[in-house]
Amino acid sequence: MKNTFITFLALIAGIVATAQPRATEGSTDFQKTSQPAAIIELPYPQNIVDKAIDDYMAKRGVKGSNNKDFRLYRGVKINNAADLNNDLYFKTDYKSRREKDITIVSLVVAKNGEDVKARVAPDNSTIAGATDFLNDLAVAAEAYNLEVMVKDQEDLVKKSQRKYDNLVDDQKDYEKKIRNLQDKIESNKQDQQKQLSELQKQQGVLEVLKAKRKSQ
């Protein structure tokens, strides 16, 4: 438990020491087309990032759906100043086979209901808003990851507490059994003494009878 707690503190320290990730402008493959995208690298496993995105969007009142390699959220304002809602396409993937604890997030922004793959030209008009959106998401993902770590650590503490409590209960049972055995040992000693007295008595009677037989 001590080693687990030290590991937990080290992870927390790593989060504090690491600079907040920042989104950049780039591009990503989208259904056999190349589309402008905001991209950010987050220092968390892919499953955590996926859940963090869902949680972040759910708090904005938006539910996602799977769209091939992307997670789609429809009717979202990418910032408070936006007049129109957009469709947000998120794609996540681990950075490399050796760096599966780092996730690359790509965000493609489309007009509400737009068929992105049918664009005749790249649309860069929302990239700035998309990078800001990912920067805000990074803060939310950090908070979500910390909550997961806290919950996992709480579960470990509860598990350790249950194991400790079970060991304490086992000790009480063992001590009770020892006391019972000690009582049985003491009772056995007393029974032995009584039986020894009875044996000596019966041996005495036997000796008297044998002596009487010889005298006849």
Structural domain boundaries of the chain? 21-150
* 74-90 residue pLDDT tens: 999 887 666 678 999 99
Q: Could you say which of 3.40.30, 3.40.50, 2.60.40, 3.30.530 is the CATH number of the domain covering 21-150?
A: 3.30.530
Q: Hey, what are 108's tokens? A: 């493609």
Find out whether 137 and 53 touch, Cβ atoms under 8 Å.
yes
Provide the Cα torsion 197, 198, 203, 204; round to 10°. Answer: 70
pTM: 0.71
Kindly tell me if the per-residue pLDDT of 18 is higher than 70: no
**How deeply is 169 buried, as exposed, middle or buried, from its count of CB atoms within 10 A (0-12, 13-18, 19+)?**
exposed
